[in-house]
Amino acid sequence: MNSQFNNIGIVTRPQTPMIESVVNELITFLIDEGLNIYIDAVAPLDFTSRPLSDQKYCHIINKEKMGQLCDLVIVLGGDGTLLSVARELAPHRVPLIGVHQGHLGFLTQVPRAQMVQELAGMLRGNYTPEERIMLETSVLCDNQETAHSLALNDVVLSRGGLGQMIEFEVFINGEFVYTQRSDGLIVSTPTGSTAYALAAGGPILQPTLQAFSLVPICPQSLSNRPIAVCDTSEIEIMITKGNDVRVHFDGQAFYDLETLDRLRIRRYRNALRILHPVDYQYFKTLRQKLHWGDQLV
């Protein structure tokens, strides 16, 4: 194969039923094409069942190292698996291909049944690339950074286990916007606009739109509505009252906050590059996943 990529990473969701057979099928295809393979160490794979000749092509590594070693990473799982990989690869600008093994599959567009056929074309350059902006967040306590994280979908400020509303102030580019009393606030990228933000009443943002949305979670005042801001904006949130407050990153990592702690949120310097099949259409995906009506004429 005259592939654009020579070093291919494979990441899986281990709990997926029959995932080992899918991994083996993918490995066999990539080895037949003479490509180097880097497999996530947590992937459910028994190498004793494979020929010894495969060993020189296959390398078991931690997912955190894939950005340094791979030209491309293939994710076998759902959107959640891809989100976790995206945060690891973002500093290295390594593109991703998602093979759908989950539920909704907004990001993982390659169907499992056509995996080998689709990948054969995509590795030769037959794909639709898409750049997705990401969020970078610093947690500040007394003007000192105490935590830092990236997010592809959203950064969510929320109440914890006590169930009490929290109070906070929001600033955009240093300008005071509002004080809010609510269950929290979702700062979403266009990618995350079809996730938690959508369920909370936020707008769907086209993926290539250079913007973020701020979506209140059950605000006490009905006048608190979602707003969209340019992706060059710096968003700052200060906790003014809350005994049990957390910030979540893509729903997969979190950090506990105290009163007067601040979140500083901005666009990350690198966009995530996702490769889709050539017939990928965003609004077709929305129709399928959200069960919108079909075209009548």
Give dist(CA 252, CA 82) in Å, integer: 12
CA nearest neighbour of 7 among 75, 74, 72, 89? 72
Record the tokens describing residue 59, joined without a space: 């390398």
* Cα→Cα distances 122→23, 30, 34, 108, 273, Å: 18, 12, 16, 14, 14
Q: Using an 8 Å Cβ cutoff, are 48 and 20 in contact?
A: no
φ and ψ at 163, to 5 degrees?
A: 80, 10
Q: Using an 8 Å Cβ cutoff, are 231 and 210 in contact?
A: yes
The reply to whether 32 belongs to the active site is: no
Please classify residue 98 by burial: count the beta carbons closer than 10 Å to its beta carbon, then call 0-12 exposed, 13-18 middle and 19+ buried: buried
Say which of 79, 154, 250, 261 is annotated catalytic: 79
Q: Using an 8 Å Cβ cutoff, are 76 and 16 in contact?
A: yes
Give dist(CA 137, CA 48) in Å, integer: 43
- Annotate 151-206 with three-state secondary structure: ECCEEEEEECCCCCCEEEEEEECCEEEEEEEECEEEEECCHHHHCHHHHCCCCCCC
φ and ψ at 149, to 5 degrees?
A: -160, 160
Catalytic residues: 79
